[in-house]
Copies of this chain bind each other. A is one copy, B any other.
Amino acid sequence: MKCRRCREPAIIDLRRHNAAFCKDCFWRHCHEQVKRAIHDFDMIERGERVLVAVSGGKDSLALWHILHELGYAAEGLYLGLGIGDYSDESGRFARDFATRFGLVLHEVDLPGDVGFDIPDGSRAARRAPCSACGLSKRHLFNQAATQLGFDVVATGHNLDDEAAVLFGNTLRWDAEYLGRQYPVLPAAEGFAKKVKPLVRLGEREMAAYCVTQRIDYILDECPMAVGNRHLHYKELLNRLEDSSPGAKAAFLFHFFDKAHQHFADAVVEERDALEACTVCGSPTPAGECAFCRLQARATRSDAIPVSIGRRPV
């Protein structure tokens, strides 16, 4: 198996591209895919400050690495979710990465700073853990970005993640979620811009990127996500991809090209109608935002606005 570009021995083959690459050309391939995603979807302007949502996993660390190498002013934010050893370990990987590359890592610790961890909080609020976790992450990353003056929040969602989410949303034809599913969500009153620069790269590519660039990352899946639907959807899409390489990328990118717009109008209207949360000031349809309500139930006290950025590394 030879590298498509330089004919040296290849270290990885990518069936959907009908190509194999050596280490250096694979590095270039990953950089090019990220550049192309940023360009095609107008994700980041030169000079904009980027906050990378860092979990300590392969995707977010590879994303931060690539954005840094491409010359973007990218700092990280790590959320300590209070999920036992998993959180302790993932935090260490995030901090080690920041130290090694001399990058700024901000941190928010849910139990210490917000008053609840995901396992207890989701139980108290009677929400599925992945739902409470997703809500907390969206809220806290957005709040941190606006408070700390970042223009853009970049997350490590890769092609496999996005295809599986799209699959779930399509199974229910959930117009609101379909309207929101796009590699860039523009900034709006109270919202930083959100971008997904890894949308053209798959899970296997991100693992290979980290291994070849000697980036250490947490290997375990989150123990609370085991058995969730999202993983089941990934498995079904992998079976599809096995029999028709490229099917997953076609599903996702044809949606962006040919169908997303049909569902997007409702979302814009909805965003325009938001008010400030009476507790924390974040945009919300009315009254208290979903995160403050989660926090109030999880801490069984009045919700306390969270201030962020107190512990840069």
A interface vs B, CB < 8 Å?
A: 170-175, 229, 232, 236, 239-240, 243-244, 247, 250-251, 254-255, 257-259, 262-263
Chain B residue at smallest Cβ distance from A250 = B172
Tell me which residues across on chain B come within 8 A of A171, comparing CB atoms: 240, 247, 250-251
Residues of A contacting B: mostly: helix
The answer to whether A240 and B250 have CB atoms under 8 Å apart is: no
Q: Which residues of B contact A262 (CB under 8 A)?
A: 259, 262-263
CB distance from A234 to the nearest CB of B (A): 13
With contacts A170-B251, A173-B251, A175-B259 known, what are 9 further pairs, Cβ within 8 A? A171-B251, A172-B254, A173-B254, A232-B240, A232-B243, A236-B236, A236-B240, A259-B263, A262-B263
Offer 7 A-B interface pairs, CB within 8 angstroms, sorted by A: A171-B240, A171-B250, A173-B254, A173-B259, A174-B258, A259-B262, A259-B263
Q: How far is the CA of A188 from the CA of B239 in the complex (A)?
A: 41
Once the chains are docked, how many angstroms separate the CA of A236 from the CA of B251? 15
Q: Please report the C-alpha to C-alpha distance between residue A250 and residue B243 in the assembled complex, in whole angstroms.
A: 26
Q: Given B173, B244, B258, which contacts A255 in the complex, CB threshold below 8 Å?
A: B173
Complex Cα distance, B6 from A10, in Å, reads 67
